[in-house]
Every structure is written in C-alpha cells, then in structure tokens.
Amino acid sequence: MPSQGLPLDGKAAIVTGAGRGLGRAEALELARLGARVIVNDYGQPGRDGSGAASATPAEEVAAEIRAAGGQAVAHLGDVAVFEQARAMVDLAVGLYGSLDILVNNAGILRDRMVFSMTEDEWDAVIRVHLKGHFNTTRFAAEHWRERAKATGGPVHGRIVNTSSEAFLAGSAGQPNYAAAKGGIVGLTTSTAAALAKYGVTANAICPRARTRMTEDVFAGFGVPEDGGLDVLAPEHVAPLVGYLASPAATRVNGQVFVVHGGMVAVVERPRVAAQFDSAKETFSHAELDDLLTPYFAERPPGETFAAVEVLGLKRG
C-alpha cells in the first residue's frame, strides 16, 4: 500500500467505529489512497483460550493496513466521551503531525416504536451518534482553526459524517436513530458554514450497507447467488468517502449524499412548497382553517416532509 502519488498521500485520518462493517471498509479505502489512519472502535482487549490478550477489531484492522504497507494505529476510546475524543485527535496530531480527515461512523441501534421506547434506549443512541459526532468534530475543528491561523491560509480539512435514510424517509421503528441522524445533518451543515473560511469541508453520507448492525434489517435482501459483490456491501460506500476526503472535493461542502450499490445520489435541500400570509396583523384559527385545510385536503394522503422516495433509489 505505498502512498507516493496517491490522492491522500501524506494525509492523516481518523475513522470512528472502524473495527467492522462500514468503518472498516472506509479505513481500508483511505489507507489504500495513501492516508495514515487512526482506526477507532470502542472496546477492550479480550483473552483467548490460553489467557493471552487477543486483538480488538480496531487493532485487527490497523494490523491489516500495516500488513498491506500502510500506516495505522488503533484507538479504543469511546467517541461519546468528550475527553476521549480529544485524546483521539491529539493522538493523530502527535503521531502524524496533523489531522486532515475525520470520518465519523461510530453508532449503535436500539430500535423500538416510539410508544414503547425506554429513556435509556433513546439516550444511548443520541449519545453515541449525535454527541459522538459533535465531540470529534469539536476538537478537529479547533485543530484546523489553529493551523489556519498559524499558516495564514486555508488547510486541508475534511469531515465526512454518517447520517441515514432513516432521517430522510422517517423510519417508524427508529425514532431515536432517525432523530440522531437528522441532528447529524444539522451539525454537518452548521460545521460546513463555520469552517469553510479555513479550507475545511463537511459533508454527510446516508449509506445503505449490510453490516453487523443492520443484518436483521437487510436479512435475505439482495444477496447475490453467483458470488458477486453484494449490492449492500460496505465496499460500495467507501470510495465516496475517499473522494470526499481528497483534494478533488474542495468545492463539495455542506452536501448530503445517499450511497449504496454502485450509486451516489445528491440530496437536494428542502424547498418551500407554499406560503400563506395573514390578511390581518396575525392569524386567527378561522383564517388558518380557511387557508390550510383546503390546501392539505388536496395533498396526496400520507405525504409528509419525509422523502420516502429515497428508499427506491437504485443503480440505473
């Protein structure tokens, strides 16, 4: 995995939740493109049958990168813990001299209908997904701002956040997950606006992939019978992450992508469908009834802000 002349030659990257699934594929792709990688995945070393310490998934991925000729180290911290996120950014800067790429992927699922979800199930998902994305972003952003001020010019800073079609389409059994993923898009667009002057971009992807976390969701769906590449393989997602991390994507900022199965779709921002103005200083119930009730009576039944059509996207 020699890096000379590759798109990410000399760049340093963090990938969270990279011990398995999407994060693993993304870490391997960034390394293949020349990046030096901090492979993050929360966990502690276990013990094998002989009592010897066994490698964690993050350590195994880092070893895989090194075996291919790249540079990688594992970080076993929890991204949802503020100081552990700080330590991870400090590790990248200390080892590699800088941080250039942050891929936020770490997440968990606690699926349940909103009327039966527990407080702990809500809090756990918001904590790992949304707070975890914020924590790492906060310290990476500070690093890039300080670098830009020190050099007097823009730096190469790339953030790739992981949202979901659950946010776009409104997943009924995932109120915690959909809320967290929607929050991540808000964090992404805010960060994109705040850091653009420093040369930093922030974008979000909504990947569809068969991983340990989604094996029940996609059970039996689209598995190839001929041994070909699964349309839901994480390897379909990783190239977009590599592109967004590269110098080629300098003008790509504050965007949301749906990606899976050899397809990338750019999601358009929300647009105003209709505007109603009060004939008086402010609205009354009666006036709103006169304006809004007939308007929604003509809308298709069940049509909401949710963009359910994204679930039908597939390679043409």
The catalytic residue positions are: 164, 177, 181
* Secondary structure (3-state) at 205: strand
Gyration radius of the chain's alpha carbons? 22
Q: How far is CA 1 from CA 30, 99, 160, 161, 245, in A?
A: 11, 20, 23, 25, 18
Half-sphere exposure of 135 (CA within 13 A, CB side): 25
Q: Is the Cβ–Cβ distance between 241 and 251 less than 8 Å? A: no
Q: How far apart are CA 276 and CA 199, in angstroms?
A: 40
Q: How far apart are CA 230 and CA 196, in angstroms?
A: 37
Q: Is the Cβ–Cβ distance between 198 and 10 less than 8 Å? A: no
Residues whose CB falls within 8 Å of the CB of residue 7, separated by 6 or more in sequence, listed in order: 33, 34, 242, 246, 247, 248
Q: How far apart are CA 201 and CA 27, in angstroms?
A: 19
Q: How far apart are CA 146 and CA 129, in angstroms?
A: 26
Phi, psi of 304 (to 5 degrees): -130, -170
